[in-house]
Structure 1
Amino acid sequence: MENLEKTVKQAVSTSFTVILVYVDDLVLAGNDIAEINHIKQQLDQAFTIKDLGDLRYFLGLELARTKDGIFLSQRKFALELLEDTGYLACKPATTPMDPNLKLSKDKGVLLDDPKSYRKLIGRLQYLTTTRPDLSFATQQLSQFMSTPRDTHLQAAHRVLRYIKSSPGAGPFLSSNSDLRLKAFSDSDWASCVDSRRSVTGYAIFLGSSLISWKAKKQPTVSRSSSEAEYRAMASTTCEVQWLLYLLNDFSISHFDPAFLYCDN
């Protein structure tokens, strides 16, 4: 291990290598293939690893690489989800949720088996790793994990039907994109019928590539739509600042100001 640390430190001046570690799975990326191969040799001597070659599949994430960029998806995971829930042959839906639907913790009949609902929402949450279009619907449904009702389950089934329409959807990371951050912020004012709290939503691009997104209920009640918008912009700004720190850790300079767009 000491030899590996020494090798990595010596490589800083001439190359850059990143190692992503999840339990016993590793992903290596960098700008010098010779250095990556050398680090793999050091790892193999220390731990006896299995080299699977170019990254194509990792923890349910599928990668397709071309000269134009990298396409990310969770197609296999999505199809397994549809098969396990009996929705593999269902009629597809065009949207993940009915835009006029207002879910409440008190409306509907309590489910006899809430564990199945919690398991379904947990799998949907993992699917949002590559599916920003599912973020808002999943955020809405995850509020009722403690006491789910039939209306919540019906809304979750609508999401499954939407997934059936495009199980292989996902973001494309362009190799020809510029390196300027652009953030888009929005809020849904007092949309929760139970707490009257608003929902923050944002999407952040690095050039033309979508790299970060979120839909989350705000921690306090906003007394106006303007206040809800400001809270959403504040959350987005924090995420942009974190991404700037992350780019700096990757030795990527971001000298230009980041853009933050709001609809109001």
Structure 2
Amino acid sequence: MGPLHYFLEIQVTKTSDEGLLMTQSKYVQDLLLKAGMSGCKPCHTPLPSTLKIQAIGGDAFANPHMYCSVVGSLQYLTITRPELAYSVNKVAQFMQHPLETHWKLVK
């Protein structure tokens, strides 16, 4: 069968000390393309913990399927990027009725 290199969208590389390095860089690139964000710049804090997000009072997002798909992909990404978990959890709370403002937070 051979050594493991790529499994369930996770790249696996053996390190010099016989450990394993797990990354999802290809998965992230594919997700950025899907969300139309391939030229975006990274930020250190995806979402401030003090931000209050409104569930109502804005325009409905035109493509709720895209919202759910991208947020679901971000949830899977937290396997190797646990620092994203808080932000992803906050935007996942609006998957039933996403607003334009929620999509801006995802982006």
The two structures share one fold, judged by TM-score above 0.5:
yes
Q: 1:76 aligned to 2:18?
A: no
Q: Indicate which of 55, 63, 76 corresponds to 2:4.
A: 55
Which structure features the higher share of strand residues? 1
* 1:94–1:102 CA distance, 2 compared to 1 (3 A): same
Deviation per CA, 1:32-59: give whole Å up to 9, x if none. xxxxxxxxxxxxxxxxxxx2x1111101
Q: 1:141 aligned to 2:91?
A: yes
Pairwise CA distance, 1:137: 0.6
Pairwise CA distance, 1:108: 2.3
**Same amino acid, percent of matched pairs:** 37
* Number of the residue aligned with 2:41: 91
Contact 1:74 1:130 in 2 (8 A): yes
Cα distance in 2 for residues equivalent to 1:116 and 1:93: 22
Cα distance in 1 for residues equivalent to 2:36 and 2:64: 18
Structure 2 residue ranges without an equivalent (≥5): none
* TM-score between the two structures when normalised by the length of structure 1: 0.38
Counterpart code for 1:135 = A
* TM-score between the two structures when normalised by the length of structure 2: 0.90
Pairwise CA distance, 1:98: 3.1
Counterpart code for 2:74 = L
Q: 1:128 aligned to 2:99?
A: no
Counterpart code for 1:147 = H
The 3-state SS of whatever aligns with 1:55 is coil
Structure with larger RCO (C-alpha < 8 A, sep 6+): 2
Structure 1 residue ranges without an equivalent (≥5): 1-50, 158-264
Contact 1:110 1:147 in 2 (8 A): yes
Pairwise CA distance, 1:134: 0.9
Counterpart code for 2:12 = L
